[in-house]
Amino acid sequence: MKKLALAVSLALAAGMAHAQTIKIAGFGAKSGVVRSFGINSEAALLAAADVINKAGGVKLADGSKAKMVVEFYDDRCNAEEGISVIRRIAGTDAVVAVGPTCSNVAEPLFGILQKKAGDAGDSGLQMPVFTDVAIKVGLAKISEWAFRNVPNEMTMYNSLFYWLRTQHPGLKTVYGGVEEDFAHSRATWYIVMKTRAEASGYEVLGTSKWLLADSNFATQVREMKKANADIIALSAHPFTTCGVLKEMQRQGVKPKLLVGLTSSSSLETLQGCPKQAEGIIIPTSFAPINKEANFAAKSTAKFKGAADLHSMAAWENMFILKNVMEAEGISGKPGDVQADRRKIRDGLARLKTTQGLMGVTKRDAEREADKPYLFVHAKKGEWKVLYNPL
Amino acid sequence: MLDFFQAVSDGVLFGATYALIGIGFTLVFGVMHKINMAYAAASVGGAYAGLLVLQVMAGAPPWVVFSCAFLAGGLLGWMVYVTCFHFIPLSSPLAPLMSTVGMLLLIDEVIVHLTAGMPQAYPALFDDVMLSMGEFTLRGDLMLVFGVSVLAMIALLLLLYRTRLGLATRAVAQQPVAAQLCGIRLARVNVLTFVVTGLLGGLAGALVGASVGTLSPLLTVPLTIKGLIVTVIGGLGSIPGAIVAGLLVGGFENVLQLYRGVTERDLYVMLLLFAFLIFRPAGLFAPRGGH
């Protein structure tokens, strides 16, 4: 009888050990017009967790293994909602949060985190946030608890315009189009695309502006037509990118080259206007060009998500976090959640490089990533690699 | 000067879609004295439903898609009536207002969930036609939108002024109690009003989709706002008012965009609305009797 009781106890103890989990909180837009970003991020997080768990899980400080569990929260791409979500996550046993989708959420959300880690006088949230999607330049410096694995648009567009200059030396002028009321589009045009084009020797002839929900682009496209620039660069998301491209077709505006916004190198653009988007060149940090990237894309598809530069950043984040957790030796015990969060923060802060799907990503002192990139262009309804500087 | 005329013509042609949305708002208000906030969302919903044709009949011509959107709009109009008005105490003005706001959000979110928020390419007729007179151009597809809108408005006016249903509708709009005493069934007229405005809305949604070339749930809120502005400027309950106001708002916003830029454009449209509310609160064509 004693032997039986001992066996049952051992079995239960073993079962409990197997049941140990490390919770990762994902968050992003799963409703509203950018819902696809949240769906894809969640799928990539779940797919990565599945791969990690099948390989044994995360090794904890005591040598045991824990499974990664992902819980995803919807912030509706709304700043207030995002802040509420991160507060809720902080109240759970999640050791790290991955998100958000939108820069207009990331900016205020990073603002409620503790500015300087360990500052006893700062009552801000002490929760490591590892962003996969929100891409507006320079946001991680807001808090030492904020980290990002998003492409460096400054580097990518600098390289793109330089490359275009070398490939098409006859092209001299650029005309811009920007979604004036969207944080990312605006910042990317005025801070990144425009300045990088000028730095590469292009003359920027002007900028046409529209709003995210606009439906009539006739006036803006007439401005483009008048400018008659060699290159038209659109810093806009798929809905208005397609609206503008269709209006350009109607008015017979045919620039020699079209350049698009990083976030538009997605299925949405090809679904909205495959014919009109033909030839548009976009720098991106993901394309299924190697074994690992193809595996990640296929694994994400099993969870009903699409692989793009954003969702694959979420995939990479999971593997980076696993390595950090193991290197820092988190305990995974309910009583140590805050200590584990601090260890993860410190571990992420120490990283100088990480391994991504496209190669090695450099990390800077402001907790931003400098990811490998390539240039894709729309060809017959698909994104094809145009140039791979890797 | 050419830019000015170009902006006016582009805006007025596109304003035809605002007029169609405005008519839907104004007709329901005229008959029931209630605002149906879900109207533009249901119109966009109808346009999305039109795309279902392409799922079963790949390469179907645009007019088939438009017809499906037209019918789906009518169905959605009926659904909005049943869910937001039929069982709601209409004596409280806030109740149907809030129920239709809820329906607006619901339709919006259903579209988002079904499409993951992805923009959908929408078929258009004459989108490759551009009439040119020197540098002055007119978009073929927008002229079609304008033409179809005018025909739809004429059809609606004929329905209202040349049929028994129209007579009943006008009777209910003017004196609901007297209309009931004459044997007109109020609930039947109300539901038919929603179906008719829904049909018109489905067509309007399809025409908006065709003129943009892409459909997105992003369209619902701006169209709701434009529809309400058009309704107020035209005069609550006035169909000719909604038509003229739709074209006026379309032209006005395009000219303001040309001269003041996109960031100030909506500011001036709102100022126009306030100017009407202050100096001509009954709108351009206030119906006799105040509604």
B2 touches chain A (CB under 8 A): no
A220 CA: distance to closest CA in chain B (Å):
9
Structure-derived torsion over alpha carbons of residues B23, B25, B30, B36, reported in degrees to the nearest 10 = 160
pLDDT tens track for B95-113: 989 999 999 999 999 999 9
Residue A155 pLDDT greater than 60, yes or no: yes
Residue among B218, B249, B255, B259 with most chain A CBs within 10 A, to mutate: B218
What does each C-alpha distance from B50 to A254, B60, B67, B78 come to in angstroms? 31, 11, 7, 17
Q: Does B105 touch chain A (CB under 8 A)?
A: no
Give percent of chain B above pLDDT 90: 57
With CA atoms as reference, report the closest residue to A178 among B120, B262, B219. B262
- pLDDT tens profile A376-387: 999 998 999 999
Q: Which residue among B208, B213, B218 places its CB closest to the CB of A273?
A: B213
Using pLDDT thresholds of 50, 70 and 90, give the confidence band for residue B58: confident
Predicted local confidence at residue B32, as pLDDT: 83
Question: B87 to chain A, minimum CA–CA distance in Å?
Answer: 29
Selected residue of B262, B263, B267 to mutate for chain A interface (largest A Cβ count, 10 A): B262
Residues of A near B (CB-CB distance < 8 A)?
Answer: 31-36, 39, 180-181, 209-216, 218-220, 222, 238-239, 242-243, 246-247, 249-252, 267-268, 271-274, 276
Per-residue pLDDT tens for A251-287? 889 999 999 999 898 888 888 899 999 999 999 999 9
Task: Please judge whether B212 and A218 are an interchain contact, meaning their C-beta atoms are less than 8 angstroms apart.
Answer: no
Q: Which of residues 206-265 of B touch A (CB under 8 A)?
A: 208, 211-214, 216-219, 221-222, 254, 257-258, 261-263
pLDDT band at residue A19, thresholds of 50, 70 and 90?
Answer: low
Contact state of B218 with A238 under an 8 Å Cβ cutoff: no
**Chain B residues with CB-CB distance to A246 below 8 A:** 127, 212-214
CB-nearest partner of B263 from A36, A180, A218: A180
pLDDT digits (tens, 9 = 90+) for B194-213: 999 999 999 999 998 988 88
Strands (E), chain B: 120-121, 130-133, 136-139, 214-215
Kindly tell me if the per-residue pLDDT of A349 is higher than 50. Answer: yes
Contacts of B121 in chain A (CB under 8 A): 242, 271-274
The Cα-based distances of A85 to A55, B23, B82 in angstroms read 31, 41, 36
Predicted local confidence at residue A213, as pLDDT: 87
Q: Could you tell me what percent of chain A has a pLDDT over 70?
A: 95
Over 70: is that where the pLDDT of A8 sits?
no
The pLDDT assigned to A17 comes to 47
CATH architecture of the domain B2-279 equals Orthogonal Bundle (1.10)
Give residue A2's pLDDT band: very low, low, confident or very high (50, 70, 90).
low
Q: Is the pLDDT of residue A3 over 80?
A: no
Q: Which tokens hold the place of B127?
A: 């989108």
**Phi and psi of B132, rounded to 5°?**
-120, 135
Per residue in B262-272, pLDDT tens? 999 999 999 99
Q: Could you give the 3-state DSSP secondary structure of residue A209?
A: strand
Rg over alpha carbons for chain A, rounded to the nearest Å, is 23
| Residues in A touching B222 (Cβ below 8 Å) | 213-215
Q: How far is it, in rounded angstroms, from Cα B140 to Cα B149?
A: 14
Of all residues in chain B, the one with the smallest CA distance to A250 is: B128
Predicted confidence band of residue A56 (pLDDT cuts 50, 70, 90): very high
pLDDT of B280 above 80: yes
DSSP SS3 for B136: strand
Which neighbouring-strand residues pair with A23? A69
Average pLDDT on A160-187 reads: 95
Which runs of E-coded beta strand occur in A34-145? 58-59, 65-74, 96-98, 129-131
* Percent of chain A topping pLDDT 90: 83
- List chain B domain ranges: 2-279
> How many Å lie between the alpha carbon of A319 and the closest alpha carbon of chain B?
27
Residue B92 has pLDDT above 60, yes or no: yes
Query: Number of CB pairs < 8 Å for A and B?
Result: 105
**Residue B65 confidence (pLDDT):** 95
For residues B168-196, give the mean pLDDT: 90
Taking CA–CA distances from A223, the nearest residue in chain B reads: B258
Nearest CA in chain B to A266: B118
ipTM (interface predicted TM): 0.81
Q: B130 — contact with chain A (CB < 8 Å)?
A: yes
> pLDDT-based confidence at B131, cuts 50/70/90?
confident
The answer on pLDDT for B52 being more than 90 is yes
Q: What is the pLDDT of residue A1?
A: 52
Predicted confidence (pLDDT) per residue in A285-333, tens digit: 999 889 999 999 999 999 999 999 999 999 999 999 999 999 999 999 9
> Between vectors from CA A207 to CA A203 and to CA A209, what angle results, nearest 5°?
165
- Mean pLDDT on B79-106: 90
- Taking contacts as CB-CB distances below 8 angstroms, the residues of chain A near B217 are 32-33
Written as one string, the DSSP assignment of A28-44 is E--SSTTHHHHHHHHHH
